[in-house]
Structure 1
Amino acid sequence: MARVLQWFGWTMGVACVAIGLGHVALGNAAVPGIGPAGAAVDSLGRFLGAAFAGYGLAWIWAARQSPIPAAVVRWLAAVFLLGAAGRVLSLAVHGWPHGFQVGLLVVELIMPPLHFWLADADERARPSTKIIKGAE
Structure 2
Amino acid sequence: MARTLRVLARLMGWSCVAIGVYQVLLGNAAIPGAGSAGPTVDSWGRFMGAGFVGYGLAWVWAAGQRPVPARVVRWLAGVFLLGGAGRLLSLAVHGWPHWFQIALAVIELGLPPVFFWLAAADERTLRGDAETVAAGR
**TM superposition score normalised by structure 2:** 0.89
Alpha-carbon distance in structure 2 between the residues aligned to 1:125 and 1:61: 21
Alpha-carbon distance in structure 2 between the residues aligned to 1:72 and 1:3: 16
Alpha-carbon distance in structure 1 between the residues aligned to 2:89 and 2:31: 18
Partner of 1:3: 3
Alpha-carbon distance in structure 1 between the residues aligned to 2:71 and 2:123: 10
User: Is 1:115–2:104 an aligned residue pair?
Assistant: no
Alpha-carbon distance in structure 1 between the residues aligned to 2:19 and 2:74: 21
1:67 and 1:123 in contact (8 A); partners too:
no
* Consecutive unaligned residues in structure 1, runs of 5 or more: 129-136
Alpha-carbon distance in structure 1 between the residues aligned to 2:79 and 2:39: 27
Segments of 4+ in structure 1 off by > 3 A? 120-128
Alpha-carbon distance in structure 1 between the residues aligned to 2:125 and 2:7: 15
1:24 and 1:46 in contact (8 A); partners too:
yes
Q: Give CA deviations for 1:61-83 in whole Å, capped at 9, x if unaligned.
A: 00000000000000000000000
* Structure 1 residues 35 and 29: alpha-carbon distance in aligned structure 2, compared to 1, 3 A threshold: closer
1:40, distance to aligned residue in structure 2 (A): 0.7
Q: How many residues align?
A: 130
Alpha-carbon distance in structure 2 between the residues aligned to 1:87 and 1:123: 31
* Consecutive unaligned residues in structure 2, runs of 5 or more: 131-137
Partner of 1:131: none
**TM superposition score normalised by structure 1:** 0.90
**Which structure 2 residues correspond to residues 41-60 of structure 1 after superposition, within 5 A?**
41-60=41-60
What letter corresponds to residue 88 of structure 1 in structure 2? Answer: L
What letter corresponds to residue 15 of structure 1 in structure 2? Answer: S
1:17 and 1:53 in contact (8 A); partners too:
yes
Partner of 1:132: none
Q: How large is the RMSD of aligned CA atoms in angstroms? A: 1.7
Percent identical pairs in the alignment equals 66
User: Is 1:89–2:79 an aligned residue pair?
Assistant: no
Partner of 1:24: 24
Of Structure 1 and Structure 2, which has the larger fraction of its residues in helix? 2
SS of the residue aligned with 1:75?
Answer: helix
